[in-house]
Amino acid sequence: MTEQGMTEHGTAKRGTAAAGTSHDVVGTAYGSAGTAFEVAVRAEASLGEGPTWDPATNRLLWIDILNSRVHTYDPATGRRTVRRTDQHVGAVKPRAGGGLVLNLRDGIGLLDPDDTFRWLHREAVPGRRANDAAVAPDGSLWAGTMRYDEAPGGGTLSRVGGDGTVTPVLDDVSVSNGTGWSPDGRLMYYVDTPTRRVDVFDVCGTGPADGRITGRRPLATVEDGAGFPDGLCVDAEGCVWVALWDGGAVRRYTPSGALDRVIPLPVPRVTACAFGGPGLTDLYITTARVGLTDPHPLAGSVLVVPDAGRGVAQPAFAG
């Protein structure tokens, strides 16, 4: 990516199409509820992350952080596109007026519908990069950072308004990861991965417009040996789905913190999940192969669990 734009190319989908989709059905595994997964995008992403359904285009957005790539996938046709960025990208989300917002190493960038790139907020910090981000119900971007060496306390979580105003929300973060809101917007869920916790906050007032959250407390703790919580999403029932890095699974927790579902996967480094598809019923799951000496053939691919549940429509960034 340059400030003049990003290159893009399309790729054809390989594999056999399932009925009504172009998913690559090469095998299945089963969770505690007997749920099968399929391969949506067979890839070798180093650090696949951040699946996001874009309802304006009916495409899945996802990224490969360390290879500086922004991907799209259309499950109806199998069409894929790949954009190269000039620096590591931690998250990509759709914008209300078209185009994309990017959580980049040196700040927040905007890609306009005509492919013109510009910085909304630039703040380069040596040794630090962007990580996961999410769009709040009010259209603000809650963007996380972390140090490359994962030093404790080296990351942050900030609220970025549509006008580029940045409000610090949390400092002393190690690896800022999954962020999401309850369907009524009154609760915010958050993961700082090394804590092994999924935390929940109360959202002050009528929404997160000023970045005020309070009452931080654990919703759930991932036990030793089960991996580390990474990206998350919230479904229409208010349950929280959490990807487990080095845990080879996605877990679903109820609003009370009870574990009520586990979807085991054949790849250990499961990074994030999001509901997508026309009815927001398919759970898309990104994975990574970085650091694995003998990676599974599907490591780095995007997996999907059809009819896993029902998601909540995600707002676009207001900027």
> Would residue 24 show up in a list of annotated catalytic residues for this protein?
no
Q: 34: buried, middle or exposed (CB in 10 Å: 19+, 13-18, 0-12)?
A: exposed
Please pick, among 24, 138, 192, 230, the residue that the annotation labels catalytic.
230
Q: How many Å apart are CA 230 and CA 50, to the nearest integer?
A: 10
SS3 readout for 143-171: EEEEECCCCCCCEEEEEECCCCCEEEEEE
Q: How many Å apart are CA 24 and CA 273, to the nearest integer?
A: 18
Q: How many Å apart are CA 133 and CA 111, to the nearest integer?
A: 16
- Distances from the Cα of 223 to the Cα of 196, 226, 228, 307, angstroms: 8, 6, 9, 28
**Annotated active-site positions, please?**
230
